[in-house]
Each structure stands twice: as C-alpha cells, then as structure tokens.
Structure 1
Amino acid sequence: MSSNAKVVLFNKPFQVLSQFTDADGRETLKDYIDVPGVYAAGRLDRDSEGLLVLTNDGKLQHKLANPKAKTSKTYWVQVEGIMDEKAMQALRDGVELKDGLTRPAKVKAMEAPSVWPRNPPVRFRQSIPTSWVEITITEGKNRQVRRMTAHVGYPTLRLIRYRVGNWTIDGIDNGSYVYF
C-alpha cells in the first residue's frame, strides 16, 4: 500500500448497492460513506451483506478484485436445509458451474453467528430448517457462493461476507465503516 493510501472497511447492509450512484434512486455507498476519492475493491451484490473494502490505491484495488491474485474471502452463509457432509465435500472439491469449475473452497458447518437482524428478515418456513456454513473462496465469479450452494442443493437465504484478506467485519456495526 502506498503511504497516502486510504482504506475504508464498510459493513454493507442488505439492499445497498456497491457503488456511489444509482439512476433508480436505490440506496448506495454515498448514503453511508463520507470519504472522498475511494472506490469499491470488488463487488458485493445488493442482496448480500458484510465487508466491502474501498480504497484510493489502484494496486490494492487490483490485488483485492483480480481473481488471479487469489485474495481469500470468507462468507457466512445461511442455507435452506441442513447442509450435509457430502455437499460440503463437493464444494471443497470444486463444483462445475456454467462458467467453469470453481476452485476448491474451504467449507465448514458453523453455529448461527450473532449478527444484526436483516431488514426485511429472511423468509422463515416452519417446515424447512436452515443451517449456516462458512465458505472461503479465492476467486470471485458473479454470484459464485449463491450458485455454489444452489448447485449442491442448498439455496442461499442470507449471505454475509465476513473477511477479505486479513480484514474482517469484527467491531464494525452494520451500516458503519472504519477508515485508515
């Protein structure tokens, strides 16, 4: 990182776009972040939550966003159903999606994290249990984690990016950011 690099770690809420402008008037980063000259290093879908890294450092942005750099990202994923070991192993081995085979992922079952409530909440269906898994990937195909869990039969209900590289959302409230 260059000496005048700015880095913003933002805990992005559900339904906020990972950009500063939107022609349709939806919530964007400008509704939350008042740091000039920074841009998102990579994307986080509107219907996903959690860590978004912003910077003014082009090299850092490239390193975080470029799949060739293999920066690892960890997601907390609530899925429909109780994900079994066979499905987790398939994700660890890599699954064939329309745009190719995914790199092997680190996958483990986890307890529900104690996080902020989502607004609106995940649709709850009494007849279908849910479970949480932690998935770490080193690439970033479009909607990759959602497509991976659906591929093995466990659709994603809630997706929270917990970590990018060495940075996490620990201590950053949803809708808030830290800047250094």
Structure 2
Amino acid sequence: MARDPGADVGGVPALRHAVRGVRGPVHRAYFFVAAAVFFEKGERTLFALVATPPRFAEYRTSKIVTLTGLTLVATLVVVVPHHGLGARPLSLLLGVVLTAGVMSLLGFVTAAPFPSISDWLIPSTVVIGVMNLPLLDHSGLWRSPLCLVIPTKGSMVLLGAAFDTASATWWE
C-alpha cells in the first residue's frame, strides 16, 4: 500500500519528503568519524592506542556506536517537529541506525590514507555520491539493479517506508 515514489506528498516531491531531515544527520556520522580520526592522528592518540588495553575493534566499535546514537538523536530532533509522530518509528530508527553505521565505517576507511582533513574532503564527496545513488532509484530517475549492491539501498527502502513513499517489500 505504498505510494508511487515519484508522487507528490502534500505538494512536496516524494523524494525530498522521504529524506528530508534524515540524510543530513546520517551523513554527519561519516564526517564526524573522519574528523575524529584526523584529530586523533594530529594528537597522536591513535599511536597511543597500540599500547593501551582496548583493542582497535573496541575503539572502532565505541566510535561507531556513539556516533550512531548521536545521529539517531539528531534525526529525531529534526524529524519529530517536522513530521510529528506520523512516521513509522521502527522503519525510521532501523534505517537511520543502519545508514549511520555504514557511513561511520566508511568514514574510518576513507580517512585512513589521507594525512589531513583538507586532503580528504574533496575525495570524500565521491563516496557520498556513490552512497546516494539509491536516491535516484528511489525517485524513479534512474532504475538500475546496480543500486542493489550499494549498502545504503536497504536503509533507503526503510526510510522510504517510514514516510510512506516506498514499500518495505520493494522486491515484489
């Protein structure tokens, strides 16, 4: 019983309606974790991590969980006043958590080879562009099975289902 993804919702195009207030906070996780990595590189915190009891997996997990939680709070602060409690909460929360987790991991991976944030910033937009390709599929502008291999496709379906612009059973 989902709406056509290209249909208008209250005069607002469905694509914009489905992701308004959600993609911004979710992308912040990507940039925040990269900024934390660059800050800790500059402070030599990452070198000290080798000599401390916590393993790198625990350090990475703590960063991802913390930033995912902050992203969830930021998303709720934006979405609830704008949409009220009309969004499906389970789809919204699951979509935000999955996307923020993926984007945080990507922030770690993409920031590692660069010496400074200014060197990383422009190449990082390529990653954001690729992760946003499912938006084109969701809006009907570019339908391709290639979008199914992009990790944010599933969370885009969940976010669309949260706002009734897509069905969570998109494969049918």
TM-score range, shorter chain: under 0.3
Which has a greater percent of strand? Answer: 1
Larger Rg: 2
TM-score (norm 2): 0.25
TM-score (norm 1): 0.25
Question: Looking at both structures, which has the greater relative contact order when contacts are Cα pairs under 8 Å and sequence separation is at least 6?
Answer: 2
